[in-house]
Amino acid sequence: MNLRTGGRPARLILNPKRKAPVCFSNETLDNFVTNLGISLRDMEKLRNFIRTKAGRKSVPSYCIRQASKKAKILKDVYQCRSFEFDIDELPEKETRPVVNADAETLLEAALEAREEYGEVRLILVCIVPNIKETYDNVEILWDLTQLNKIPFKFVSDFKLLLIIVGQETANSTYSCPFCFINLSDLRDGEPGAKTLYLGKDNVALQISEECLKLKTFGDLSESFKKFEDQNCDKKNAKHCHITVNLPLFDESDEMHIIEKAVIPELHEVQGIVNHIFFDGLVPLLGRDNAMKRPKKLNLISKHYHGEMFEGNACRRLLKEADLLNDSDILGEHSIFEINPFIQTLKTLDKLVNASFKSERPDDSWQQHVNELKRVYPATGLSNASKVHVLLEHLKHGLYNLSSDPLRM
């Protein structure tokens, strides 16, 4: 009912329905602020905006105070200094600023913040802009943060992991961070050993147990000692498992690398799906036809070191494997040629769903690994190190995560 008055028209509502008031909790606002990386001043503007639109009680009045106290607990532990680093494409080292905290102090501060304000999900230990991934660079950051003083699990792509455990990455003879398999074993197998899976043209790959022995920190120290005995000559690196530095992790000799380093899900999925797509489907179907499937899903490839699909796009390509069975994509090829790829992608999707999740993996992953060993060779693709890690080391990775109190 609108009332005609002298000034602004007034509106009167009879028997109004009571709406539940909108209320944003401290935690919701905190997550928002953290995800957007906005400042406390911007947060205050945001709070005022919400209060004008959704009512005075929609935001707790003490939220800014709460957030600034929380930020202060963590802010005081950081410091900024400059160091010389190797930079991509530059022969000389350059100075870069490093913001870092001492890991132990930071952990205490995070525990204090958690006690007062609830879960702390992500904490930055150290940040430095635009430097190259090298052992010397990572060593500076490792020393600054004193990371080894706290218990932690490590996750990164294989290149960085190899660097940190002291192995050379330019030489891909031993490209698996977790065992001693070498590239020729992975491609051709070794006579007289156990048959593990079928290789190209259905030739049984023979890979010895010795090659698949899990690497320990003791093995790496021993290999490095050998490298030193050979005057640290990189030409001889292949005789000491390309170990050219001591591991930066400070762990006991008996510990396996896979106990410390978690198998990186995204890196694995991204590597294998791109390998299947660009090394398998593109040469088989021709680029134009192969690209029709990602196009149907509105997925665009990116260019970093060569062309690739990113993690989330790869998950979609895995889920929609059946789309490959389309006359538009197949062109003159028969479904029998493409079937191994569809089966591989489907099996990989099941394997990823069964093993990479926050709750305890169900036991079906073992069945999917066996299936992958059966269907993957039919694609004719090489056993890239990422495929090898899934087939041989997933069981160790899952076991370590489920039995370890540090499980994330």
**104: closest CA among 127, 128, 123?**
123
In the complex with Zn ion, the residue whose CB is nearer, 155 or 299, is: 155
- Binding part of the chain for Zn ion, among 48-56, 172-180, 195-203, 235-243 by CB under 5 A, reads 172-180
- Binding part of the chain for Zn ion, among 68-76, 124-132, 174-182, 256-264 by CB under 5 A, reads 174-182
With beta carbons less than 8 A apart as the criterion, state whether 29 and 38 touch. Answer: no
Is residue 207 a contact point for Zn ion (CB under 5 A)?
no
Task: Dump strand ranges (E) for 119-207.
Answer: 126-127, 195-198, 204-206
- Binding part of the chain for Zn ion, among 38-46, 74-82, 168-176, 358-366 by CB under 5 A, reads 168-176
In the complex with Zn ion, the residue whose CB is nearer, 47 or 215, is: 215
Q: How many residues bind Zn ion (CB under 5 A)?
A: 4
In the complex with Zn ion, the residue whose CB is nearer, 177 or 294, is: 177
Is residue 179 a contact point for Zn ion (CB under 5 A)?
yes
Smallest gap from Cβ 391 to Zn ion, in A, equals 9
Is residue 356 a contact point for Zn ion (CB under 5 A)?
no
Does an H or E element contain 306, and which? strand 306-308
Smallest gap from Cβ 174 to Zn ion, in A, equals 9
Does an H or E element contain 284, and which? helix 282-285
With beta carbons less than 8 A apart as the criterion, state whether 119 and 110 touch. Answer: no
- Binding part of the chain for Zn ion, among 30-38, 84-92, 179-187, 282-290 by CB under 5 A, reads 179-187
Smallest gap from Cβ 408 to Zn ion, in A, equals 22
Smallest gap from Cβ 286 to Zn ion, in A, equals 34
**Max CA distance (Å), the chain:** 102
- Enumerate helices (H) and strands (E) in the chain, giving the number of each: 18, 9
- Residue 110's CB is within 10 A of a number of other CB atoms, namely 16
Is residue 176 a contact point for Zn ion (CB under 5 A)?
yes
List binders of Zn ion among 181-200 (CB under 5 A). Answer: 181
Can you tell me whether residue 84 is helix, strand or coil? strand
DSSP 358: S
Is residue 178 a contact point for Zn ion (CB under 5 A)?
yes
- Residue 4's CB is within 10 A of a number of other CB atoms, namely 6
Smallest gap from Cβ 237 to Zn ion, in A, equals 18
Smallest gap from Cβ 165 to Zn ion, in A, equals 13
Is residue 160 a contact point for Zn ion (CB under 5 A)?
no
Does an H or E element contain 113, and which? helix 103-117
> Which residue carries 């070498």 as its tokens?
182
Q: Which residues bind Zn ion (CB under 5 A)?
A: 176, 178-179, 181
